[in-house]
């Protein structure tokens, strides 16, 4: 269990008890995919998860059978790829992670995934609105800047939208930025926690090094490029076999853990892409900034804080791009209806 002890502390494992308050069902939609499998593995290692529900259009039960042999206490169930299987996977879920959808190939942008992934996310959101209307929905499927607003529209149409419970997972940007900084500065990556705001693609990814202990990194063009286009590095290296899966699984598991921890602990803060008041006056409904998490999901959305003029220029470019990403169900591709 070396991985569990590194990802989750000993105190947390000891603190685990199966009181009703601690029962947490977590559902993964797209659980047999490149992200879904290692994400499910990491969730199985998290003692806060008591019931792990795995659903995919193919392979869910197989992944569940495999993971269920791991000697941690949670119950793992794989569901058949049927409407009733999906509903059962969702029923009673506290957290629903959605990594279902196609990944990029070299030469594609995340927006090129929209035509395929928008309808996948739309259909899964419809099922979640029906069977898990109170769950925290964590959207991983790209393009996150557009798939998150789609989920919001579906929940609104079903009359169950709670903006405090919808999250675009941008944790991988924080993870990458923190790791890249630690490599440059020769620090322990565990001590770095770089704030990244905006969205999750290219210029919408805005790291705020001025708010870290390394403000001299503002203006480091190579570092900025690696943070904004880190996903492309992996897409190119995988050479047609997909995009980041393992680092994304870690980032998704970290965000889920933060949400579970925030049920009982205050001061849990993660940047995440949420329905945000910060730039609504500019027509931007969703924005990633530091968010304090709590038992009801979003507790408090923080503004970007003090930034340098160089970072303001990056933020301006980000906002211009995000304006284009807003989406309603009406703008879904024709075949998706
Ligand atoms: N938010 C982020 O930071 C990141 C997002 N991603 C995105 O995550 C998504 C998944 O990536 P991978 O796991 O590498 O892809 P993958 O192709 O390996 O896995 C996707 C899985 O989704 C399943 N699936 C497709 N339609 C489904 C449906 N209607 N219901 C349930 N399952 C369904 C497939 O059967 C497959 O197992 C992609 O859109 C990718 O761009 C990837 C990396 C980082
Ligand atoms: O780049 C991609 O397509 C996958 C992704 O979102 C990332 O790695 O950040």
Which ligand lies nearest to the CA atom of residue 226 in the structure?
Answer: 2
Question: Are 223 and 121 contained in the same domain?
Answer: no
- Answer yes or no: is the C-beta of 272 below 6 A from any ligand 1 atom: no
**Residue among 62, 140, 229, 254 whose CB has most ligand 1 atoms within 8 A, to mutate:** 140
Q: Examine residue 17 and state whether it is found in any structural domain, yes or no.
A: no
What is the pTM assigned to this prediction? 0.94
Question: Are 31 and 128 contained in the same domain?
Answer: yes
Which ligand lies nearest to the CA atom of residue 109 in the structure?
Answer: 2
Active centre residues (catalytic)? 200
Ligand 1 centroid to Cα of residue 333, in Å, is 19
* 31 carries a ligand binding annotation: yes
Domain extent for 213: 170-330
Task: Identify whether 143 is preceded by a cis peptide bond (ω within 30 of 0).
Answer: yes
Rounded distance, CA 101 to CA 189, Å? 30
Question: Are 146 and 247 contained in the same domain?
Answer: no
Low-confidence ranges of the chain (pLDDT < 70): 1-21, 325-337
Question: Are 49 and 181 contained in the same domain?
Answer: no
Rounded distance, CA 113 to CA 78, Å? 27
DSSP state at residue 139: E
What does the pLDDT read at residue 334? 43
Instruction: Report the CATH number at residue 194.
Output: 3.90.110.10
Question: Are 204 and 104 contained in the same domain?
Answer: no
Give the end of a domain, one of 168, 198, 218: 168
Q: Examine residue 12 and state whether it is found in any structural domain, yes or no.
A: no
pLDDT tens profile 140-189: 999 999 999 999 999 999 999 999 999 999 999 999 999 999 999 999 99
Give the end of a domain, one of 141, 168, 195: 168
Question: Are 126 and 241 contained in the same domain?
Answer: no
Number of domains in the chain: 2
Instruction: Report the CATH number at residue 30.
Output: 3.40.50.720
Distance (Å) of CA 167 to CA 70, 276, 289, 296, 331: 29, 11, 11, 13, 21
Is the Cβ–Cβ distance between 47 and 24 less than 8 Å?
A: no
Ligand 2 centroid to Cα of residue 168, in Å, is 13
Ligand 2 centroid to Cα of residue 275, in Å, is 21
pLDDT tens profile 249-291: 999 999 999 999 999 999 999 999 999 999 999 999 999 999 9
* 250 carries a ligand binding annotation: no
Question: Are 144 and 37 contained in the same domain?
Answer: yes
- Answer yes or no: is the C-beta of 102 below 6 A from any ligand 1 atom: yes
Question: Are 213 and 154 contained in the same domain?
Answer: no
Question: Are 121 and 221 contained in the same domain?
Answer: no
Give the end of a domain, one of 120, 147, 168: 168
Candidates 98, 92, 104; CA nearest to 121 is: 98
């Amino acid at each position: 269990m070396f991985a569990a002890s590194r990802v989750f502390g000993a105190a947390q494992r000891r603190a685990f008890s199966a009181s009703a308050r601690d029962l947490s069902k977590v559902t993964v939609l797209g659980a047999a995919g490149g992200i879904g499998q290692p994400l499910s593995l990491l969730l199985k290692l998290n003692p806060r998860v008591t019931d792990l529900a795995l659903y995919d259009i193919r392979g869910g039960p197989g992944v569940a059978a495999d993971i269920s042999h791991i000697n941690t206490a949670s119950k793992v169930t794989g569901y058949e790829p049927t409407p009733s299987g999906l509903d059962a996977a969702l029923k009673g879920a506290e957290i629903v992670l959605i990594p279902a959808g196609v990944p990029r190939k070299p030469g594609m942008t995340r927006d090129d995934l929209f035509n395929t992934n928008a309808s996948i996310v739309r259909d899964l959101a419809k099922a979640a609105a029906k069977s898990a209307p109170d769950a925290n929905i964590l959207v991983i499927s790209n393009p996150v800047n557009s798939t998150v607003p789609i989920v919001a529209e579906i929940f609104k149409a079903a009359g169950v939208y709670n903006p405090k419970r919808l999250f675009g997972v941008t944790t991988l940007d924080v993870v990458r930025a923190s790791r890249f900084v630690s490599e440059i500065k020769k620090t322990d990556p565990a001590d770095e926690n770089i704030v990244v705001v905006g969205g999750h693609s290219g210029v919408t990814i805005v790291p705020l090094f001025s708010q870290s202990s390394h403000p001299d990194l503002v203006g480091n063009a190579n570092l900025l490029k690696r943070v904004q286009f880190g996903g492309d590095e992996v897409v190119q290296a995988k050479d047609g076999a997909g995009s980041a899966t393992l680092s994304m699984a870690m980032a998704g598991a970290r965000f889920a853990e933060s949400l579970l921890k925030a049920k009982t602990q205050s001061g849990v803060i993660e940047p995440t892409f949420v329905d945000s008041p910060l730039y609504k006056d500019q027509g931007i409904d969703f924005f990633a900034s530091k968010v304090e998490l709590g038992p009801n999901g979003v507790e408090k959305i923080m503004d970007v804080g003090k930034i340098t003029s160089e970072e303001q220029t990056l933020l301006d470019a980000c906002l211009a791009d995000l304006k284009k990403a807003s989406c309603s169900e009406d703008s879904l591709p024709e075949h998706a209806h």
